[in-house]
Amino acid sequence: MKKLLIQLSLGFIVAVCAIVSYLYMPANYLSVDNKIRDYLFIYRGKIPHSDQVTIVDIDERSLAELGQWPWERNKIARLLTNLAEAGVGIVGIDAVFAEPDNSSPRRVLNQMGLKREAANAPDFDEILGEAIGTTPTIAGYVFLMEADEIAQGEGPQVPAIFVERNLGAQDLLFRPHRPVLNFPSIQDRAFSSGYFNTIPDDDSGIIRNVPLVMKYDDVIYPSLSLEMIRIAFDEERVIVQHDPRIGVERIIVGDLEIPTDRYGRLFVNFRGAGKTFPYISAADIYNNTFDPQSVAGKFVLLGTSASGLLDLRAMPFDNVYPGVEIHANVIDNIITGDYISRPSWIPAVDLLMILLAALFLSAILAYASAFVSFAVIIVYTGLFLTFNYYMLFSHGLILNLLVVLLTIFLVTILALLFNYFLESKQKDLIRAKLAKKVSPSVVEDLLKNPDLGILEGRERDITIFFSDIRGFTSLSEAMGSPKALIGFLNSYMTPMTNIIMKYGGTVDKFIGDAIMAYWNAPSDVKNHQDAALKAAVEQLAALATLNATLKAEGKPQIDIGIGLNTGLATVGEMGSEGRADYTVIGDPVNLASRLEGLNKPYGSHIIISEFTKAGLTGEYVIRELDRVRVKGKTEPVAIYEVLGVGAPSGEQAKSIENYEKALSLYRSSDFKQALEGFRVLNQESSCYLYKLYIDRCEHLIENPPEAFDGVFTFTTK
């Protein structure tokens, strides 16, 4: 209970810090929160949109066919006329024609001084103005947000009434510096107009929301999208609903209630990446080669996706997104009522989630194991993100992501640190108790990985090591006393054990003068066959040094045999309830023990099985001894003697080659030729192994076998 209370106290402290951070969140925190939410949009992917919004695109093809931008204004007029004749619902122009058209014939002739000819020449600006005035077209313009050297002018005329309700001491609407309107002969003919500003977030340059209204010279002006909606729904009044404490709450157009943030911005519920909405090339509209049904009765936006016209923006789905399609998303959000917003009560939900995350995780992590803690954190984080995703896209509610995720992270770190310091003493107690039952290496691995169940029985591919002192009975008699014998054995066992541990082995047990060890359990040991063999070779070298010391002290010399085998064995804690040990059992263990015992009849020091040899990756001096059936086994196994590490010398290689030839003759039942080969080898270098095969060949020549398979069967251990 005390541990739980401490953990809950730490969690509460984290919650308080997180709540303070939330309430006074710096802009860079908000940036990270927005970027995390962008990934939710990307994960959600493209969603259906209404079929009420179409984009007429001044694309690369249009520029190639109709000429470079800006086009003559009569071409724009023709686009609007063709759209009107096709029955378009309403057109919004995502462009501003601020300067007169210098290509207009009347303007060109006037500049040439041909006043009379100019009087009857067409004026492209008037033609466009006439087209805008006689078609259901909303002109576009832009607000400059920063001050410049040009004097502020009047805003455009908007045939609507804007009412502000519950306005506090100061509203938070954007207040631009000045408007950049269309050329008067165009602007004055338009029934209405709207600005097409899209203001990216300061922190990232990404557009996530669009201001639906701005206030210029104390007059409210609508965006192009909002004005198209107002006119399409035939509403004369727009209500800007404020909350005196926080700013704008919503914008009301007739029966439409559009939720906004405190600055009057609509969070755009983007339908997908670029070209999600239907696009029609402006060239097709100009040439009248389009299907009228694609625009009949619909909202149509005239804009551009051509990269050279620089109307490309960054948004959550895409870094190169046509600006005109942002307005298409806004219109589609409004006419379908598919909004995402952050109502005034959302902060209370955010604070509750922060507190819940801190206290719930603190309580769970107080007693959970490392694995369970990790699982709980992953599941809780996943559930939180899923809940956030669900609320965002099913209910259109924007919840805070960053602070809750930071709370989860900080609670986890503090809980882990607390558990680490609290349990350090408990680990010492565990180590002291378990060390009486299992080897120290097992204890350490268990303490590091308490949830891996390493004490439970399981199969592992391991390399087993057995070594034994030859002639131990006579050696113990020579020592004289038990105390002297124990000291003598310790002087031998200590360096041998250190070498095994040096190469990553686990010493399983000491059986009198014998040592049993294994590799690749409980922990993984890379190339465990090589590690075991190198340890065996190094033990022989260390034994030579030890024998030199023993000889100088007048003590008996030590000779040992080592057997190595590799295979699948069962590893785990075995024994009774009161007394158990972590050990290995199985046929591979029995075979390794038998191989150690075969060193005596073959006069060798290290014998490895064919299974161990198959797993070796290093270079060693190895020769095959025999194919044998050990006691208790019916299947023969090839056994090998290891003479050293590294490549064999030239003399060794030649000797092994000649030996293998004689051994091949022996196995093919050509005992006379084999005998000759072994005799030659023995004359060159007398060897116990050669003498063994000489005796065998002589016996088999005198007593020819009926069926010879080259396998020697041992009937004793």
| Per-residue DSSP letter, 26 | -
**Most confident region among 41-55, 97-111, 456-470 by mean pLDDT:** 41-55
Question: For the segment 401-432, what is each residue's pLDDT rounded down to a tens digit?
Answer: 999 999 998 888 887 777 767 666 556 645 55
Q: At 683, list the tokens.
A: 């004359």
Residues 402 and 553: their CA atoms lie apart, in Å, by: 74
**Stretch 348-362: mean pLDDT, rounded?**
90
Question: For the segment 364-393, what is each residue's pLDDT rounded down to a tens digit?
Answer: 877 777 778 788 889 999 999 999 999 999
- Tell me the whole-structure pTM to 2 decimals: 0.61
Residues 72 and 103: their CA atoms lie apart, in Å, by: 6
Residues 407 and 361: their CA atoms lie apart, in Å, by: 10
Beta carbons within 8 Å of 469's beta carbon, 6+ residues apart? 475, 492, 513, 514, 558, 559, 560
| Per-residue DSSP letter, 452 | S
Residues 649 and 624: their CA atoms lie apart, in Å, by: 17
E-assigned strands of 576-633?
Answer: 580-585, 606-609, 620-629
pLDDT of residue 375: 86
Smallest CA-to-CA distance from 628 within 576, 571, 696 is with 696
pLDDT of residue 535: 96
Instruction: Report the share of the chain in percent with pLDDT over 70.
Output: 93
Whether the Cβ atoms of residue 599 and residue 607 lie closer than 8 Å to each other: yes
Question: For the segment 6-25, what is each residue's pLDDT rounded down to a tens digit?
Answer: 777 778 888 888 888 888 87
Q: At 454, list the tokens.
A: 């390493």
Question: For the segment 566-587, what is each residue's pLDDT rounded down to a tens digit?
Answer: 999 998 777 665 566 778 899 9
Smallest CA-to-CA distance from 462 within 380, 569, 323, 386 is with 569
**Stretch 107-127: mean pLDDT, rounded?**
86
Residues 659 and 672: their CA atoms lie apart, in Å, by: 15
Angle subtended at Cα 325 by Cα 44 and Cα 65, rounded to the nearest 5 degrees: 130
Angle subtended at Cα 51 by Cα 48 and Cα 55, rounded to the nearest 5 degrees: 105
Amino acid (one-letter) located at 587: D
pLDDT of residue 438: 44
b/e map 408-446, b = 16+ CB within 10 Å: bebbbebbeebbeeeeeeeeeeeeeebeebbbebbbbbb
pLDDT of residue 385: 94
Torsion of the alpha carbons at 274, 278, 283 and 285, rounded to the nearest 10 = -150
Q: At 352, list the tokens.
A: 């509750």
Residue 124 has pLDDT above 60, yes or no: yes
DSSP 134-177: HTTEEEEEEEE-S--SSPP-PPPP-SSEEEEES--SS------S
Residues 350 and 381: their CA atoms lie apart, in Å, by: 15
DSSP 470-498: TTHHHHHHHH-SHHHHHHHHHHHHHHHHH
Question: For the segment 635-693, what is each residue's pLDDT rounded down to a tens digit?
Answer: 899 999 999 999 999 899 999 999 999 999 999 999 999 999 999 999 999 999 999 99
pLDDT of residue 52: 96
- The single residue listed with the structure tokens 């800006």 is 70
**Stretch 690-698: mean pLDDT, rounded?**
94
Whether the Cβ atoms of residue 610 and residue 640 lie closer than 8 Å to each other: yes
pLDDT of residue 436: 42
Whether the Cβ atoms of residue 257 and residue 250 lie closer than 8 Å to each other: yes
Question: For the segment 149-188, what is each residue's pLDDT rounded down to a tens digit?
Answer: 888 889 999 899 999 999 988 889 999 999 999 999 999 9
pLDDT of residue 308: 75
Residues 560 and 660: their CA atoms lie apart, in Å, by: 26
pLDDT of residue 447: 64
Q: Decide: helix, strand or coil at residue 88.
A: strand
**CB neighbours of residue 654 within 10 Å:** 12
